[in-house]
Amino acid sequence: MTYNINKNRRKNIRLKNYDYQQNGLYFITICIQNREHLLGNISDKEYYVYDAGEMIESVWNNLSKHYKGVKSHDFVVMPNHIHGILELQNSDLNLSEIIRRFKTFTTYQYINGVENRGWRPFYKRFWQRNYHEHIIRNDDSLGKLQHYIVNNPMRWREDVFCGD
C-alpha cells in the first residue's frame, strides 16, 4: 500500500517568494465556515448587519490599536464573509499572522456572543481555514477594490460568496 503524503496538505495560495511583511496594501476576503449567514442579511436590496457583524467590523477597525504598523482601511461585512483593505508599514507581523490573530480573537468574541447574547451558534469552526488576499500594487487597483467594497452589498446576488 502506498501512502500519499500530499493528500491532506492544504494548497498554498500565497505568492511564492513574496514577503508578506513588506510595506503595502492588501485586499483581504475571509469567509465564514460553510458560508453560513452569521454576520448579516441582504434581501430585496435591504442590507442589515447583525450585532456579530458589527463586532467583526469593530475588531477590524481597531487592529491598528493592537498591532504596530497595521492600518485598516475600507471594509464591508457581508452575510457570510468580509472584505477589507489592510496596510502594513514597518509592521512586526506578517499578513498571515495578523489574519490569524484577527480570526482567533473574533472567534472567541463570537463564542461569547453565542453564550451571552443569543447569537446563532456555528458548527466546529467560525471562519474557513484560509483567506483570499490580493496585493494592491497601484492606485488604479486600489480605486477598483475600494469601489468593489463599497458596492458589494448592492451586488449581493452576483457575489461568488453569496451561497444562496
3-55, pLDDT tens digit by residue?
454 545 455 555 576 667 789 999 999 999 999 999 999 987 689 999 999 99
| Statement: residue 144 has pLDDT above 80 | yes
Q: Tell me the pLDDT band of 1, cut-offs 50, 70 and 90.
A: very low
Residue whose C-alpha cell is 500565497: 14
pLDDT tens-digit readout, 67-91: 999 999 999 999 999 999 999 999 9
Q: What is the pTM of this model?
A: 0.85
Fold of 24-156: Alpha-Beta Plaits (3.30.70)
Beta carbons of 78 and 161 less than 8 angstroms apart:
yes
Give all strands of the β-sheet with 81-88 in edge-to-edge order: 70-77, 81-88, 24-31, 132-136
Count the Cβ atoms, other than its own, within 10 Å of residue 50.
18
